């Protein structure tokens, strides 16, 4: 195991040259390789290394937040991303990049290069996202969610996994603070919003006790429910698309929790894009429908093929299973609506905002899109107990 040091392009290339399997993938001699930094998210450095025969994506943790070096951050997050890939690989196949190498000392993972792909958020902003990508994301959540559920495997397997991901503390702390606490706190220095346009909307959100009760309920659902292994940060920046090929990346926030968290977060990011850009809303509603049906079909299909493999549902006949499925999907939708609401609010007035808003045609449009996001977010949180199917969700947007 190597000793940790942040690798620049030269050091990374030299390190790869010591690893025969990866060198063979790149081909030629190390002198012919090029390393290009493509760091894009908030947390890590990412290089694409290319050689005559192929290319690799190399991601390394830094001991601080990349966009805010004063914010210290344990290195371990890369290990959780690798564990997430290892855990889900068999269930989701090519819906995530292939993990080629993990160095636990350098906190470095090397994976399949997806340079031919585009970050979905960018594609959405630029208007060239292939229609129907959301169905693939729904299938991903369905396959990953069922494979890590009490219905698919004996609880001993899942307790062991729960033990691994229960150590993912620093990124879960970010989720608990940034997604479900800070935006509702008056005077929290991490919040920012379009001012003065949204001042009164923000003040309402921070003093609304009915809303805060809904947020409390979602905090409890997130921390107290271990329904499946979540991606934990499934926004449109965590997805890469290339024609029909849709990949989910960046699983470093992985944690056991309620499935509606992943689905709701993704939906909220579609909604913000739909509000920010003209003539997108009907398209946005279609994508959300596809996400939900993709999820339900994949989850149901896995469930039908697996009855009796896990501890939950081991007694059920096929008929009872169908009944149980209907109840289950209603519950997931309630969570989904609530978590979508949290994401809409925190991406509009919290620390990490959705880039989509800046793509609005003018400032008035942007202000209105942001205002709608806040109001829809509030409505989804407060009414989530009543939102039990996709029609009710679409009506509430």
Chain residues in the site for a copy of itself (CB under 8 A): 150, 155-156, 158-160, 162-163, 166-167, 169, 172-173, 176, 181, 184-185, 209, 212-213, 215-217, 219-220, 223-227, 311-317, 319-320, 323-324, 327
Q: Which is nearer to a copy of itself, 308 or 361 (CB)?
A: 308
Q: Specify whether the CB–CB gap between 101 and 110 falls below 8 A.
A: yes
Q: Is the dihedral of CA 247, 250, 256, 257 positive or negative?
A: negative
**Between 248 and 349, CB nearer to a copy of itself:** 349
Give min distance, CB of 196 to a copy of itself, in A.
25
CB of residue 378 to a copy of itself, shortest distance in Å: 14
Pairwise CA distance, residues 388 & 51, whole Å = 51
- The residue length of the chain stands at 397
Q: Which two tokens stand for residue 216?
A: 């409390």
Nearer to a copy of itself, 1 or 210 (CB): 210
- Choice between 33 and 184, CB closer to a copy of itself: 184
34 or 216, CB closer to a copy of itself? 216
- Give the nearest distance from C-beta 302 to a copy of itself in angstroms: 16
Least spacing, CB of residue 256 vs a copy of itself, in Å = 9
Q: Is 46 helix (H, G, I), strand (E, B) or coil?
A: strand
Nearer to a copy of itself, 71 or 159 (CB): 159
Apex CA 250: angle with CA 93 and CA 344, to 5°? Answer: 115
Which CB atom, from 71 or from 155, has the smaller least distance to a copy of itself?
155
Rg (CA), the chain: 21
Collapsing DSSP states into helix, strand and coil, what is residue 309?
coil
| Cα separations in angstroms, 139 against 14, 68, 366 | 39, 35, 32
Question: To the nearest whole angstrom, how small is the minimum distance from the Cβ of residue 208 to a copy of itself?
Answer: 10
Cα 200 to the chain's mean position, in Å?
30
Closer residue to a copy of itself, CB minimum distance, 23 or 170:
170
Residue 130 CB, shortest distance to a copy of itself, in Å, is 36
As measured in angstroms, the least distance from the Cβ of 87 to a copy of itself is 15
Compute CA distances 393 → 210, 231, 235, 261, whole Å.
Answer: 20, 22, 18, 15
Burial annotation 244-280 (CB, 10 A radius, 16+ → b, else e): eebbbbbbbbbbbbbbbbbbbbbbbbbbbbbbbbeeb
Nearest-approach distance from CB 325 to a copy of itself, in angstroms: 11
Q: Measured from the CB of residue 345, what is the shortest distance to a copy of itself in angstroms?
A: 13
Nearer to a copy of itself, 77 or 118 (CB): 77
Q: 261: closest CA among 185, 324, 179?
A: 179
Phi then psi for residue 228, to 5 deg, are -170, 165
Beta strand segments in 21-178, E: 34-37, 44-50, 55-61, 64-65, 68-72, 99-103, 108-112, 118-119
């Amino acid at each position: 195991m190597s000793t940790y040091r942040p690798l620049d392009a030269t050091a990374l290339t030299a390190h790869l040259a010591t690893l025969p399997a990866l060198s063979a993938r790149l081909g030629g001699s190390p002198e012919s390789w090029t390393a290009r930094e493509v760091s894009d998210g908030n947390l890590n450095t990412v290089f694409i290394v290319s050689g005559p025969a192929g290319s690799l994506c190399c991601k390394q943790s830094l001991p601080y937040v990349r966009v805010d070096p004063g914010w210290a951050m344990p290195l371990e997050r890369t290990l959780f991303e690798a564990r997430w890939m290892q855990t889900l690989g068999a269930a989701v196949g090519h819906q995530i990049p292939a993990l080629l190498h993990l160095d636990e000392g350098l906190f470095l993972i090397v994976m399949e290069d997806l340079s031919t792909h585009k970050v979905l958020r960018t594609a959405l902003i630029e208007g060239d996202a292939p229609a129907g990508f959301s169905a693939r994301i729904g299938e991903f959540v369905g396959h990953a969610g069922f494979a890590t559920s009490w219905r698919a495997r004996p609880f001993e397997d899942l307790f062991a996994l729960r033990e691994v991901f229960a150590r993912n503390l620093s990124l879960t702390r970010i989720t608990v603070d940034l997604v479900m606490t800070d935006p509702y706190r008056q005077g929290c220095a991490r919040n920012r919003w379009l001012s003065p346009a949204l001042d009164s909307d923000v003040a309402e959100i921070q003093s609304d006790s009915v809303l805060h009760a809904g947020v409390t309920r979602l905090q409890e659902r997130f921390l107290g429910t271990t329904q499946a292994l979540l991606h934990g940060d499934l926004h449109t920046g965590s997805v890469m698309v290339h024609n029909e090929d849709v990949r989910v990346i960046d699983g470093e926030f992985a944690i056991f929790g309620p499935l509606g968290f992943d689905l709701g977060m993704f939906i909220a990011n579609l909604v913000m894009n739909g509000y920010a850009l003209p003539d997108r809303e009907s398209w946005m509603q279609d994508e959300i429908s596809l996400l939900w049906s993709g999820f339900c079909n994949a989850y149901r299909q896995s469930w039908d093929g697996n009855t009796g493999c896990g501890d939950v549902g081991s007694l059920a006949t096929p008929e009872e299973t169908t009944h149980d499925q209907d109840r289950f999907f209603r519950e997931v939708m309630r969570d989904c609506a609530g978590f979508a609401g949290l994401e809409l609010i925190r991406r509009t007035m919290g620390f990490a905002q959705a880039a989509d808003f800046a793509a609005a045609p003018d400032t008035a449009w942007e202000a209105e899109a942001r205002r709608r996001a806040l109001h829809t977010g509030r409505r989804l949180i407060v009414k989530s107990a009543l939102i039990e199917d996709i029609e009710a969700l679409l009506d509430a947007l």
